[in-house]
């Protein structure tokens, strides 16, 4: 037998027997030294990770997105500006309200999430099979989901709770109408459309912004079930949609969707008859026609469900240059809540799992945490730093300010127009002569081992606060310096 076929412990130690425990005699008690048994039992106890609060029951597959119509006039995202370019993807479909044991064919909204592994990083489009949702303010989300889950006393689904919430929130009517129409019971994941639902932004090479909505139109044709057909199917197969997707791909019948977008320029958004970022409403197609840009095809099944589907993690906050958020309030909240849920469910380093890992280089200053693969080695784990080989900011990717009328959303330089020296200098000047000497010596002592480059840079700041301050620290450091040359450049 080759080594590659030997069963081992998690640390790689070959195991002779995994069917019989180590005991004191044939009928004797177990021994604590049977570390193989302990590892087996302890691993089993930890096999499950917390269930997703929503979208718990899901199916997934790999595939490609092929760009058929480049849109450089709208976005600088590289995977959207080169005709014919193929981008690897992973897609996950799901029910929304049901737990992991729920039936696939239940009446419900369906999740439609796609992870694009682009050359500039991952982009996650985390949507549904509906273009709208039940709420327009994120404050209502948790309360709405509570009505879709189980009653706190009976632990049963409760129609009264659902309709109580919907009747008190008329903005839900659009989505309620969709869910109780034929669209609420798609025949399979292959036979339904997908939508980004929210409004997103595109930014082009000229730093011009437009608003965008994403549509995935099934090329298999829309098919649905009646309530009676759904009930009958659930009675014989609770995994009907997962079974359909897996074996269709296994047979080579690769499902595909035509990817389309709607575009709204900023001036149109200002005169739109209602809030264009309202998640409960659509943009009329006659006013904002669909523009076909590509094809999404799923053509490879996962090798392991847990590793690749259950541990897959999506978040609307995962963007690439040229694609960004909008003022949609629900989207804004999801930008925080989704990655927060993934960190709770899988761990802070969930990005390093193969299904979530970008296919481009990853460089950042976030380190450590459970299950880290150790990005960065011995390089600095902070920024800014003086290491020429460390990752640097890329200001060329900055988005243009978002004009909100009397204020603009932007990243404002906190040092711009600020005086960082006067108050430090004033403090220095009230010190006694003895305290000045002690302060200078303490600073010099704390700079033991610091490079000359950093010492000189810091001396600039001391001199700008007070000439005497800088001179005393320089003297304590044993550095002879012409202080005047530091005063011109602040």
Q: Would you please indicate which residues are annotated as catalytic (active-site) residues?
A: 55, 128
Burial class (CB in 10 A: 0-12, 13-18, 19+), 417: exposed
DSSP string, 151-199: -TTT-SB-HHHHHHHHHH-GGGHHHHHHHTSGGGSBS-STTS-EE--S-
Please say whether the beta carbons of 79 and 91 come within 8 A. no
Distance CA 40, CA 103 (A): 31
Q: First CA to last CA across the chain, in angstroms?
A: 72
Q: Find all residues with CB under 8 Å of 302, minimum gap 6, and list them.
A: 60, 61, 62, 308, 309, 355
Please say whether the beta carbons of 126 and 115 come within 8 A. no
Q: Find all residues with CB under 8 Å of 473, minimum gap 6, and list them.
A: 440, 443, 444, 459, 462
C-alpha dihedral, 413 to 416 to 422 to 423, nearest 10°: -30
Distance CA 266, CA 298 (A): 34
Minimal CA–CA distance to 189: which of 256, 93, 125?
93
Per the rule left: phi > 0, alpha: psi between -120 and 50, beta: everything else, 376 is left
């Amino acid at each position: 037998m080759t080594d590659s076929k030997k069963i081992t412990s998690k640390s790689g130690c070959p195991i002779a027997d995994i069917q019989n425990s180590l005991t004191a005699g044939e009928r004797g008690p177990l021994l604590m030294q049977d570390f193989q048994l302990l590892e087996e039992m302890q691993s089993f106890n930890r096999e499950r990770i917390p269930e997703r609060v929503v979208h718990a029951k899901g199916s997934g597959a790999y595939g490609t997105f092929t760009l058929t119509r480049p849109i450089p006039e709208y976005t600088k995202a590289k995977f959207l500006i080169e005709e014919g370019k193929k981008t690897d993807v992973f897609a996950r479909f799901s029910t929304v309200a049901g737990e992991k044991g729920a039936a696939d064919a239940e009446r419900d909204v369906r999740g439609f999430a796609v992870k694009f592994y682009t050359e500039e990083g991952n982009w996650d489009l985390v949507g549904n099979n509906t273009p709208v949702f039940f709420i327009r303010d994120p404050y209502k989300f948790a309360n709405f989901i509570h009505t879709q889950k189980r009653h706190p006393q009976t632990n049963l689904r409760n129609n009264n709770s659902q309709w109580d919430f919907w009747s008190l929130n008329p903005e839900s009517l659009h989505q309620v109408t969709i869910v109780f129409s034929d669209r609420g019971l798609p025949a399979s994941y292959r036979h339904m459309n997908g939508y980004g639902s929210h409004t997103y932004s595109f930014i082009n090479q000229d730093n011009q912004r437009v608003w965008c909505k994403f549509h995935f139109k099934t090329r298999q044709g829309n098919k649905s079930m009646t309530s009676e057909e759904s009930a009958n199917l659930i009675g014989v197969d609770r995994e009907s949609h997962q079974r359909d997707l897996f074996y269709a791909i296994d047979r080579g019948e690769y499902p595909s969707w035509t990817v389309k977008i709607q575009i709204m320029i900023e001036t149109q958004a200002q005169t739109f008859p209602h809030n264009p970022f309202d998640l409960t409403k659509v943009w009329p197609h006659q006013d904002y026609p669909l523009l076909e840009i590509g094809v999404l095809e799923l053509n490879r099944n996962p090798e392991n469900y847990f590793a690749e589907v259950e541990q897959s993690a999506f978040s609307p906050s995962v963007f690439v240059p040229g694609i960004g958020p909008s003022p949609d309030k629900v989207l804004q909240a999801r930008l925080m809540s989704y990655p927060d849920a993934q960190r709770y469910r899988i761990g802070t380093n969930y990005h390093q799992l193969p299904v979530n890992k970008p296919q481009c280089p990853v460089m950042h200053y976030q380190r450590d945490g459970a299950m880290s693969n150790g990005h960065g080695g011995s390089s600095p784990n902070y920024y800014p730093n003086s290491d020429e080989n460390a990752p640097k900011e890329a200001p060329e990717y900055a988005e243009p300010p978002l004009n909100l009328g009397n204020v603009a959303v932007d990243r404002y330089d906190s040092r711009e127009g600020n005086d960082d020296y006067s108050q430090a200098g004033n403090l220095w000047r009230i010190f006694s002569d003895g305290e000045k000497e002690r302060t200078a010596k303490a600073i010099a002592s704390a700079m033991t081992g610091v490079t000359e480059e950093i010492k000189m840079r810091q001396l600039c700041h001391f001199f700008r606060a007070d000439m005497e301050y800088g001179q005393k620290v320089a003297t304590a450091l044993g550095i002879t310096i012409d202080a005047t040359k530091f005063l011109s450049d602040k």
